[in-house]
Amino acid sequence: MTSSSASEPTPTAPRPSSRIPPPLRPLTARERHEQHRVASSLELLFDLCFVVAVAQAGVGLVHAVAGGHAAQGILNYAMAFFAIWWAWVNFSWFASAYDNDDVLYRIVTLVQIAGVLVLAAGVSRAFEHRDFFLVWFGYVIMRLAMATQWLRAARWARGAERRMALRYMAGVLLCQVGWAGLVLLPVADRPWVFLVMVPLELFVPVYAEKDHATSWHPHHIAERYGLFTIIVLGETIAAATVAVKSAASEHDALGELLPIAAGGLLIVFSAWWIYFAVPIHGHLRSSRESFLWGYGHYLILASAAAIGAGLEVAVEQAVGTTHLSALEAPAAVTLPTALFLITMWVLHARHFKVGIAQQLVLPSAALLVICCTFLGGWAVLAAGIVSALAVAAGIALNTRRAATVSGAQAAGGTA
């Protein structure tokens, strides 16, 4: 997952072609600066299957918050979403470095997809009963497949790269043994398993790549994260649409729902605009930058998905199907929106902003969105307007700076 150069020359695997893939091909590292590298159809299918898991986590969060168990629901959501996100991360960074598109690689990836679907099937039980067996078993399937991929990579590697691949394989399997605590320990102790295992999981790439870095492709991995962000935002729109449709047809409360729908749409549009305002792949150069950016996306993606759950909660409160107050329901939207904005500033925007005015746009917007919580039924619409104004302010400041720079250059040329 790091971006520093490999310590030894790495053989380059042939680029996947549009022809029928061979049964077996050497699983060697791909060229880090390979031209025209884009997400494959298999990667897109892999992402699509995660929609099911993300949707299940969102449903669990909605039920918990609407039922007055917000603290427990947020904890369960954080744990479930980490499981979903980390499974995606493990595959995506490996594929960016080693995807050779042969038949065996495709089959092993399809096995991983099956594991994702098993995990998704267990999310609701994890929320309702803290029964993590299916989540754990889905991980077993994915982890065995992932270990197989690393073993294949080690088979063709030499020296430091081989040690790196074997460390990854060992780390993946040992961590999976640790996750067995979710099944074997008493229910009350299971959150502690997460508290211990999450840092260990995050440490595996740091340790595995301390002598040799995988040759992941900056443009490709940035595209992969962008595509997954779009999927999460799409799930947010879908969840909110279903909630509004159901409430409007059953409770005839269109007047109360329109501000929520409009505000939610503005938030999602603004989130998309902010995320894709500038390409990030050029920033991913050092090990520190790549780890911070990759790991930080847990907050970006989890908050984006939580916005959809929050919109559902706001709809239920508007039509009177939940006993949440006029302050608690809007907070389900405004707090994840503020978290998304501030995390986007930390990971993306601040690297491209010039001057204090540009740097303050997103942090100020996050603070104002939190303040919108106190506006009752208009809170979601107000948060959407603030988000849109943040986008407009960013565009205006960039345009003004570009005009200033252009004018200065023209004056210098004339002189």
Q: Using the predicted structure, report yes or no on whether residue 341 has a pLDDT greater than 90.
A: yes
- Per-residue pLDDT for 144 more than 60? yes
pLDDT of the residue at 248: 67
Q: Which of 207-211, 230-234, 351-355, 390-394 has the lowest mean pLDDT?
A: 351-355
- In order of their start, the domains of the chain are 41-216 (no CATH), 219-407 (1.20.1410)
Q: Which two tokens stand for residue 65?
A: 């918050």
Q: Which residue has the higher pLDDT, 280 or 378?
A: 378
Residue of 403 and 301 predicted with greater confidence: 301
Q: Name the pTM for this structure.
A: 0.86
Interatomic CA distance for residues 236 and 260, integer angstroms: 13
Average pLDDT, the chain: 86
What does the alpha-carbon distance between residue 351 and residue 360 come to, in Å, rounded to a whole number?
13
Residue 351: per-residue pLDDT: 77
Token pair, residue 79, equals 């744990």
The pLDDT score that the predictor gives to residue 405 is 63
For 3-20, what is the mean pLDDT? 47
As a whole number, mean pLDDT of residues 308-337 equals 87
Q: What digits encode the pLDDT tens for the residues 65-104?
A: 888 888 888 888 998 899 899 999 999 999 999 998 899 9
Compute the average pLDDT of residues 159-185: 94
Residue 15 has a pLDDT of 52
**pLDDT at residue 18 tops 60:** no
Residue 244 contacts residue 315 (beta carbons within 8 Å): yes
User: Running DSSP on this structure, what letter comes out for residue 352?
Assistant: T
Q: Kindly tell me the number of DSSP H helices and DSSP E strands found in the chain.
A: 13, 0
Residue 252 has pLDDT above 50, yes or no: yes
State residue 223's pLDDT score: 92
CA distances from 83 to 116, 229, 300, 326 (A): 10, 16, 15, 32
DSSP string computed for 103-114: HHHHHHHHHHHH
